[in-house]
Amino acid sequence: MDMNHTCRGKWRGAVLAVLLTAGTLTAAAPGARAEGARTETPVKSTSPVTGVTESTVRVKVPLPESAGPHPEACDWLSYLRYRSADGPAASADADRILIAQPGILEGAGAFDSVARNTVTRAAEQGQHIEFWALDRRSNCLEDRTGIASGDQHTAVDYYYRGKQVGGRTFGGYTGNAQLGWMAKLGIEQTVRDQYDLLTAELPSPALRKRKVLCGGHSLGGVITGYFAAADFDGNRATTADAGYNQCAGYFALDTTVSTSLGDLSGSIPGDTNLPDIGLGYGVVQAGLDSGVLPRTLSAPVLLNPETMTLLGIAGLGALKDLDDEADLLGYLPRNLNIEATNRFLFAKDTTAFLSGSPSVRDFRLTNGAVLGALLDDNSVPLAFLQTSVGFFDGGPIADKNFPAANGGDAQPGLYGTAYKAIPDRPKGPLYTWRNYDRVGDADDPGYRSADGTPFTGAGEEATDVRQLARSLAEQPLDFTEQYFPTKLVTDIELATSPQVKKLVVHPEGLKANPVLTVLAGEGLLAGRVPADLHPVVADGYQHLDVLTAAPVQNNGRPEPVSTSLAGFARTPR
């Protein structure tokens, strides 16, 4: 998931302020892999996609001493391992291993559906593959105790009211002052972590080169590009350790494999306009080290740990009973982050946003409608958070006329292309949620916008809302990333600075292996990727649908992203 243009002005102001007060600082040296500790824990799942075994793997890879004080949990790297239940138990014996980097504000749990679907598609072709969904190191700060309770009220009480669960009390959301060690979590440490994890789990260089496919979603494609071009032993002349020699191929999910933001730049903080002579990088790094610049990406609306936690809690309700009337929005505390998010998502127009009336608490919504309102492309204005999970039902629907909601084709990188809608009868009927596979069926009322355009159609819906809820609430590693390292973005935005350019040791590595590019037909890059990349286009998909789409689509065909990945992973017999 990627940040949007609204952050651009704040970022420029903050960076310019640092220019007046801070000096330069060189990049941190990469850490060394620790030998030994590893745990693997089976994951119980209610997914209807059976025949897939899932486990949580943790490998101890301590941060370098230069990172400074940090939680012990952050000396471990974690990933979700998916494999065929009928396949080999050892990863080294699999036909292929796909290793996936998440996008901005995204965790390993977001890959659950595409991982299961891909492993299943490959098994149908006689191939036993594995899919490793990576958690970035910063995910170590997350506490899933409340969501793991399985109860919405318990989760709210744990995260927002200080009540214990199983004898544990939530430690609160970590503030910027406690995150000094994250000032070093940039591109260099991120690709080093992937290398150290791969070499720990698959010690044979020849096996990695033959079986591993490296890729990612959204910003994960850019990280994969830096990984492909990296050198890990400090000696350019020796290439066995080069990133591209750890992979047999690359895959890009609604992104491209590159070392530039390119078309993704429209959805994350803009160019800092600092000179690319080392000064810009050094000043930004000094700002991160001192805390003058925030060490994690955060904003009052949706993009902060407090409101990101709400997605998992909303998933709990939808997972338990999709059609039951929700009380979550009324049970939540009324603080700034939650109130700002509710107004941003549920305001019909500017007047409603400013006045707070009608409030979302004035509407009757099912658990499914609450989750849909938080993540569906016809509701949430931010394209990087959008899925196509169906549509509201049960009462009159109106257009959103709030300027931050309906950007349409003007800024698809920010808003997406779907018309935005909202329930239109406060204190009225119970608004329900029509799942993706019921849009366009015989009893669909076919809601239309004010100009007569249908809000959606069967070909524009891809994700099962129940399975989205399961990925949000059931996974042991978060769907979202509550603490995304600012340095990971600033490094990429300052890609032409000497400190970042030196990380691209083997630029030829970007073209050293085959590449599969899969795009969402209505996602962040719709219509903006060069044809010579020969992308597979998933029609009607939004940015997150490439990860969350159901195994069978409304046209009766298998889900195209996982089908393409399984085909790309196929090895000769």
When comparing pLDDT for 407 and 78, which is higher? 78
Cα–Cα dist 234/505, whole Å: 9
pLDDT at 29: 33
- H-type helices in 234-381, by residue range? 279-290, 305-320, 328-331, 336-346, 350-355, 367-375
Which residues, in sequence order, are CB contacts of 235 under 8 Å at separation 6+? none
> 65-104 pLDDT, tens per residue?
999 999 999 999 999 999 999 999 999 999 999 999 999 8
Residues 6+ apart with CB under 8 A from 387: 375, 376, 377, 462, 463, 468, 542, 544, 545, 548
CB contact burial 224-254 (16+ within 10 A = b; e otherwise): bbbbbbbbbeeeeeebebbbbbbbbbbbbbb
Question: How far is the CA of 260 from the CAs of 9, 194, 266, 367, in angstroms?
Answer: 21, 19, 12, 40
Q: Note the pLDDT tens digit of each residue in 325-376.
A: 999 999 999 888 888 888 888 888 888 888 889 988 999 999 999 999 999 9
CA 533 vs CA 250, 274, 351, 417: distances in Å? 13, 31, 45, 23
Beta bridge partners of 54: 82
Which residues partner with 366 through β-bridges? 325
Cβ distance 385 to 302 under 8 Å?
Answer: yes
SS3 325: strand
Count of residues for the chain? 573
Q: List the structure tokens of 220.
A: 């994960």
Beta carbons of 8 and 20 less than 8 angstroms apart: no
Residue pair 399/450 in contact (Cβ under 8 Å)? The answer is yes
Residue among 518, 487, 384, 475 nearest 79 (CA): 475
The two structure tokens encoding residue 556: 């009766």
DSSP per-residue codes, 143-167: --HHHHT--HHHHHHHHHS---BTT
Say how far residue 105 (Cα) sits from the centre of its chain: 5
Query: For 134-182, what is each residue's pLDDT tens digit?
Result: 999 999 999 999 999 999 999 999 999 999 999 999 999 999 999 999 9
Q: How far are the Cα atoms of 26, 454, 554 from residue 447, in angstroms, in the given order?
A: 56, 6, 18
pTM: 0.90
Determine the pLDDT at residue 191. 98
Q: How far apart are CA 388 and CA 434, in angstroms?
A: 11
Q: What is the pLDDT of residue 265?
A: 44
